[in-house]
Structures are given as C-alpha cells and as structure tokens.
C-alpha cells in the first residue's frame, strides 16, 4: 500500500503574469510522517511533467496565498490545474483567522521563525 504524502509548495517567478512571465523555481517539501524530502525544480526543469512527477503519491498540497497566486500561475504557465488532482489548503486564510497578516515572510517573523539564508531579503 502506498503511503500518501502532504506537499508544501511555493514558486518563484519573474513577474506577476503567467502570460508574460515565467516560473523560475518550484519548491516542494514532501512528507508523510516517515519520510521527508525536498524537491526543487529550477529553470529548464520547471515543466508540467516534472511537477506531476514531484507530486506523485501526494494527497494534499499546502501553499501560502496559493489559491490567488501559485496555483493560478502554475495553471497559466504549465497548463495544469492542481486543484483538480489534489486537495489544496491555503495557509494564508488560516493565518488570517489567527490575526497573522502580511506575506509569508512577514508571518514567519511574527511567529518567530528564523531562516538561515544569507543574502535573502525577508521583506
């Protein structure tokens, strides 16, 4: 029996329009309680087939503002609607219910989550 994974997905793009801009990175953290793995699709590896393969055995995808940005951008740029194949939970709305507002990095700061990334702006 295959164990289902949860996936935390985030994308980076060259702009805000899938018609005029490109996805430069898709980051996916997959976990199922027994196994964890991080998959990063970068540049030419950002393809529909690679994304589908990276999400194999995934039941639920979590994003932050993914309903309004990430999943819509993926649908426009890669011609795949992930909401048809996976359960999707947008953590931004759960954060709002807890009075945590702002972008993903701003919410991390409010929660006291620190990143150890050199040269990456938080805001």
Q: Is the pLDDT of residue 43 over 70?
A: yes
The domains of the chain are located at 5-91
Q: Domain 5-91: give its CATH superfamily.
A: Ribonuclease H-like superfamily/Ribonuclease H (3.30.420.10)
CA distance 67 to 83: 9
Give 21-41 pLDDT, tens digit per residue.
999 999 999 999 999 999 999
Q: What is the pTM of this model?
A: 0.86
Name the residue with tokens 């289902």: 4
Q: Is the pLDDT of residue 123 over 60?
A: no
- The whole-number pLDDT of residue 106 equals 86
CA distance 19 to 10: 19
> Is the dihedral angle over the CA atoms 101, 103, 107, 109 positive or is it negative?
negative
Q: Is the pLDDT of residue 92 over 80?
A: yes
Beta bridge partners of 40: 27
Q: Is the pLDDT of residue 44 over 60?
A: yes
Terminus-to-terminus CA distance in the chain, angstroms? 43
Give 95-111 pLDDT, tens digit per residue.
999 998 988 888 888 88
């Amino acid at each position: 029996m295959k164990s289902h994974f949860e996936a935390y997905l985030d994308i980076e793009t060259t702009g805000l329009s899938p018609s005029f801009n490109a996805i430069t990175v898709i980051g996916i953290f997959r976990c199922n309680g027994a196994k964890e793995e991080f998959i990063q699709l970068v540049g030419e590896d950002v393809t529909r087939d690679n994304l589908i393969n990276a999400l194999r055995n995934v039941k639920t995808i979590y994003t932050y503002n993914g309903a309004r940005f990430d999943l819509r951008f993926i649908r426009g740029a890669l011609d795949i609607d992930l909401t048809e194949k996976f359960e999707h939970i947008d953590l931004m709305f759960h954060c709002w219910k807890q009075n945590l507002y702002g972008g993903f990095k701003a919410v991390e700061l409010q929660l006291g989550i620190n990143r150890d990334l050199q040269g990456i702006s938080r805001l």
